[in-house]
Chains A and B, each alone.
Chain A
Amino acid sequence: MSGLYTDPLLTLSRETRWARLPADAARATAHNPLCGDEITVAARVLDGAVLDLGFVAHACAVCNAAATAMCDVIAGAPLSAVDAHRAALSRTVRSGEAESDALTPFAALAAHPSRAACAELPWKALQAALAAPRASRVHQSTAARQASAQAPERVSERAPEPVLATLDDWARVQRLLAEGRRCAIATLTAVVGSSPCPLGSRMIVRDDGHFWGSVSGGCVESAVVQAALTLLDDPAGPQSASADYQIANSQAGAVGLPCGGRVTVHVALAPDIEQVAAIRAAHETGAVRVLSLTDGACHIARAGAGPLSEAIDAVLASERPLQVDEPTPVFVEPLRSPPRLVLIGGTHIAQKLCRMAVEAGFAPIVVEPRADWARPGRFADATVVRERAERVLPGLIDSRTAVVTLTHERLLDDPALKVALASPAFYIGALGSRRTQQARLARLADDGVPPAQLARLHGPAGLPIDGKGAGEIALSILAEIVATRRRVERPRRVGAVVLAAGSSRRAGPINKLLHPIDGAPMVRHAVRAALDAEVEPVLVVLGHEAERVRAALADLPVRFVHNAEHAAGMGRSIACGIAALAERTAEPPVDAALVMLGDMPYVRAEDIARIVAAHRASTRHLIAAPEAGEGAARRRGNPVLWPRRYFAALQRLEGDAGGRHILQGAPGAILRVPIDHPGVLRDVDAP
């Protein structure tokens, strides 16, 4: 009936899936003075991609349809693609030939040249939102709104981007400086009462007033921009300034706070480009940045001596910034970006997880293509990406990212898992029962996911805390993520105690430990296996014929401990070795100790490695013991790996009993490691 108003166009125009303005997004309004159409587009950008967007329009069907089509292609797309998509639309409405299926409804506009502007209006608003609005325009827009509406002037405003990756801030500063721009950095250095942004939140203000980031969720940003521009405008003037701002009550109310707080924002000129590069390089290396609140200068510092050492230790341990007033006021911030938690599926559990994750210092991102689940307001704490996960995940994951699938929809979960398992994400978990997990693993394997990748999947996700309900399940998942993260960042350190003190009762006249086996003294085999399995340190407990045994091991990188009471049985030797291991203060403390018997020469390095690996892979600190043998003969062997929390009990051992009775008292705390070699069972009592 009508060339322009086709069903596809009208259907698109009635679509409401993008009819919302995501919070914390850059936004701009575009007007068509010809017909009074008006559309506001808000877009949230992360890592150079449009993560989320939406629009509110008072506009015709063509404009509404074009806006929906725009959001469809732009959600998840890189910023660099925006211009190309707009150009494709422009060409289509001019030539009448659709360049893609999505553009087909707009081809008929070629016959209605005055309506092309309607289709381009959403793009105008999007580009304005993404472009650099000058600070002055923020003020203008208020004035323009107050003046009784008439003039077809375009009003642009920009809400702050979320404070997601502080590392990105420095990348941005470096890029700006490289482009020859000047900029200032505003840092939230103190908060009294409640504030929408955490301490250390940053804004970067460019010399033309364009800014990124937020220090108050939109409350004091324009004042901060002014302060920054004042610094930037006067090169001869001060390099930095601090000011206190009151967070208005209404603003506090809008972000869910009962009352307004007071914040202090420090603004300083950006360091020079070499220093910015150094700051970026120092990220994730255990360094902090010390910012002088008196002159705005900064330097990189590490743990060690000096007046700030205590503060630096505290900042590194907590990963949160700290203001120190003595001897001169400085702000110490960790050079780390928050780890990300990417949740596939905007479910109930995702809601709980987001809230907890923020508390634990993660930046949560919810990836959810389904409108109902990604409804605005469901995720106040998270960035919501309305997109299929497999499209956006590659841009979201780094080695400090955890990914959890929560949808229960294999069509959504499986493709996401495939991308995640091949990525450097430190944790990949999937919600679902054990049975679901089996089926999932089978499907993924069928799909060609290699076993090494499948082994990375935590499923069912979460520590076994028998959680009930969404909150507790979320807690268990977050706990597992934290545990995994800590382990990945610092693998558990495992040392070995090799018992070579002998015992007068068993040894007989000749020292069996020195008896040659395969051409080497028996004790050497055990020690070599420990060293080859890269266990560090290796302590050898000497006693009977200590000098001879020491001589047999003299060329190996081991340390010796002497058990004067070796005749009292194996218990004292274990206690002695563990005490020495636990006491070693010069090195990082060990998290667990392998207790090895000098008379078990057939234990292989690979067996030890397997025991250690099993322990490291487990989120819990369990005793790990090898198990070997067939059928009824299957039994526990040696060496046994003891987590640190058993050290005290081990140091109290007496007599010849070894740790057996501790093991018997803790059956649920034992991780059984199957070993398909009898060496772990075999000791050599008499040559």
Chain B
Amino acid sequence: MTNMRHSLDTGPAAIRPPPGCPPIDAAADRAHFPALADGLRYLDSAATSLTPTCVIDAVRDAMLAGGSAHRGLYPLAQRATAALEGARRDVAAALGGAAEQIVFTRSATEGLNLVAEGWARPRLTAGAAIVITRAAHHSNLLPWRRICRAAGAELRIAECDARGVLDLESLTPLLDRRVVAVALTHVSNVTGAIAPLDAIAALRRRHAPQAALIVDGAQALPHIAVHAPGSRADFYVFSGHKVCGPQGIGAVWAPVERWAEAEPLLVGGGAVLDVGDGHIVWSEGPARFEAGTANMPGAVGLAAGLAFLDRHRDTARSVALTAALRTRLARVPGVRLLGDPPGAVGAVSFVFDGLHPHDVGAVLAERGVAVRVGHHCARPLLAHFDVRSAIRASIGLHTSAADLDALVDGLRAARELLAPPETGRGEVHR
């Protein structure tokens, strides 16, 4: 807070927030995040959230305790089992669910593959269909495309409008009795657009009641407190490293009946109770989907991250800060924002005056500002906006107006450095 006031009061007029952009504080003090110690202006939380000290400590404690969950009867192993299952309870609670509804994965990508291969693929026949959206992350596109190809099923894509908002009118005709699953992206990692889950669930109920609703919540949870059972999702997929947890852990929430219909992605130790020459007795509950020794420290870290998030997350602030980011960027000459979804949260993508995003990103990096450049694993959506790659700034709990100032400054510097000299200034033209 003091920090920010200081820069606002003494900085040059150019970086003063324009009217209509109230100064916004960080939701959590920068001091929570060791990665920010050297003054980094981190605007890439949509790629991965920075890990707060308390999460690092929780993971460290879990590793110090050691032991293999579900693999022994001695105290060490039993403590590991307790830590894993405790984390499962905590994670479930954070989504308003019960422990047996949570299956741990490595990532959101693995979660989506698990649902596609384990649940959808066995029910997919030639002539059946899967519905996805234009806003899908590649992780929520390729698994569906693969199983559709394999089954001879149809992959239907619901469009976005020019603002980057899912077009419910284009979705409705795609929903019919042949649809096995509707896979949504709760919040776009490119535009920050929030998909209207309730409206989509209602359409599903009306036109394709048999279809499961699969929601990629990777970008939603960091900003929105999701109540999974109330969301009408059949599967809610998310990732630890975007919710202040460690990398290498993610989870899928689903009602127990759905899990009962699904098959595991991986088979092996821990997924079965008994294996004979001619028979298998599967484990019960989530363990069936978690073959191999569990990532107990990761699960503990995920629970700790969600707990930290729960203490600091403020959806209204995220929306306001995202709006401020959009406004500040829109006023930089040469910037074109991709889409304009109302109420966007988290990420803003843009292109800059014919400069290649990669170069802009590099200049910003040299100035200690971290943004993402490239196609953001969402080629179809970028194509929708008619660009091949873009620059993305995204906010986290630690983001404040000072980060936006640094970004805007950096963009001006990038333009000065990279823009071709104007014609007529000493350039010889033949």
Contact = CB atoms under 8 A, between A and B. Distances in A.
Say whether A and B bind each other.
yes
Interface of A: 1-5, 10, 14, 34-38, 58-63, 112, 115, 118, 148-151, 372
A59 B359 CA distance: 9
B362 A115 contact: yes
Contacts of A151: 138, 142
Contacts of A59: 356, 358
Nearest to A6: B417
Contact of A36 (B374, B380, B430): B374
Contact of B362 (A4, A10, A37): A4
A538 B101 CA distance: 112
A148 B138 CA distance: 12
B380 A60 contact: no
The interface centre, meaning the residue of A35, A59, A151 with most chain B CB atoms within 10 A of its CB, is A35
A36 B375 contact: yes
Contacts of A372: 430
A576 B380 CA distance: 91
Interface string B412-426: 010001101000000
B388 A58 contact: yes
Contact of A5 (B375, B379, B382, B417): B417
Given A35-B361, A148-B379, 5 more contacts: A1-B413, A35-B375, A60-B358, A62-B358, A148-B380
Most chain-A CB neighbours within 10 Å: which of B138, B356, B357, B375? B356
A153 to B, nearest CB: 12
A150 B141 contact: yes
B359 A35 contact: no
Interface string B295-311: 00000000000000000
A298 to B, nearest CB: 46
B185 to A, nearest CB: 14
A373 to B, nearest CB: 12
A367 B374 CA distance: 39
Q: Is the interface of B mostly helix, strand, loop or mixed?
A: helix
A149 B375 CA distance: 11
Given A1-B417, A2-B417, A5-B363, A150 B356 contact: no
Interface string B379-414: 110110000110000000000000000000000010
A148 B413 CA distance: 36
B379 A150 contact: yes
A66 B179 CA distance: 49
B277 interface: no
B233 to A, nearest CB: 24
A150 B138 contact: yes
Contacts of A36: 374-375, 379, 382, 388-389
Contacts of B388: 36, 38, 58
Nearest to B361: A35
B142 A10 contact: no
A14 B429 CA distance: 13
Given A60-B356, A62-B358, A150 B380 contact: yes
B366 interface: yes
A112 B362 contact: yes
Given A5-B363, A35-B389, A61 B418 contact: yes
B50 interface: no
A487 B373 CA distance: 66
28 contacts: A1-B413, A1-B417, A2-B417, A3-B366, A5-B362, A10-B417, A10-B418, A14-B420, A35-B357, A35-B358, A35-B361, A35-B374, A35-B375, A36-B374, A36-B379, A36-B388, A59-B356, A60-B356, A61-B356, A61-B418, A62-B358, A62-B359, A112-B362, A149-B379, A150-B138, A150-B379, A151-B138, A151-B142
Given A2-B366, A36-B389, A37-B389, A60 B359 contact: yes
Given A60-B356, A61-B356, A151-B142, A2 B374 contact: no
B358 A37 contact: yes
A151 B375 CA distance: 11
A204 B380 CA distance: 39
A5 B413 CA distance: 12
B421 to A, nearest CB: 9
Nearest to A37: B358
Contacts of A150: 138, 141-142, 379-380
A345 B54 CA distance: 72
Nearest to A118: B358
B374 A34 contact: yes
A60 B362 CA distance: 10
Nearest to A60: B358
Interface in B344-384: 356-359, 361-363, 366, 373-375, 379-380, 382-383
B389 to A, nearest CB: 4
A2 B362 CA distance: 10
Contacts of A4: 362, 366
The 10 A-B residue pairs with the shortest CB-CB distance, nearest first, are: A60-B358, A36-B389, A36-B375, A150-B379, A35-B374, A60-B356, A61-B359, A35-B358, A60-B359, A36-B374
Contact of B363 (A2, A14, A35, A58): A2
Interface in B244-262: none
A63 B359 CA distance: 10
Contacts of B374: 34-36
Nearest to B389: A36
A3 B413 CA distance: 14
A143 B374 CA distance: 24
Nearest to B376: A36
Contacts of A148: 379-380, 383
Contacts of B375: 35-36
Contacts of B383: 148-149
Nearest to A148: B380
A626 to B, nearest CB: 56
Contacts of A10: 417-418
A257 B75 CA distance: 84
Q: Tell which of A37, A62, A150 has the most Cβ of chain B within 10 Å.
A: A150
Contacts of B413: 1
A35 B417 CA distance: 20
Nearest to B419: A10
Nearest to B365: A112
A1 B362 CA distance: 13
A151 B379 CA distance: 8
Contacts of B373: 35
A372 B380 CA distance: 38
A112 B358 CA distance: 12
Contacts of B389: 35-37, 58
Interface in B130-176: 138, 141-142
Contacts of A115: 358, 362
Contacts of B380: 148-150
A390 B418 CA distance: 37
Nearest to A3: B366
Nearest to B420: A14
Contacts of B138: 150-151
A178 B373 CA distance: 49
Most buried by B among A10, A14, A38: A10
Task: Tell me which of B357, B362, B413 has the highest count of chain A C-beta atoms within 10 A of its own C-beta.
Answer: B362
Contacts of A5: 359, 362-363, 417-418
A149 B389 CA distance: 13
Interface in B2-23: none
Nearest to A57: B356
Contacts of A35: 357-358, 361, 373-375, 389
Contacts of A34: 374
Contacts of A63: 358
A397 B65 CA distance: 78
Nearest to A14: B420
A37 B413 CA distance: 23
A63 B375 CA distance: 17
B199 to A, nearest CB: 26
A36 to B, nearest CB: 4
Contacts of B418: 5, 10, 61
B357 to A, nearest CB: 7
Nearest to B138: A150
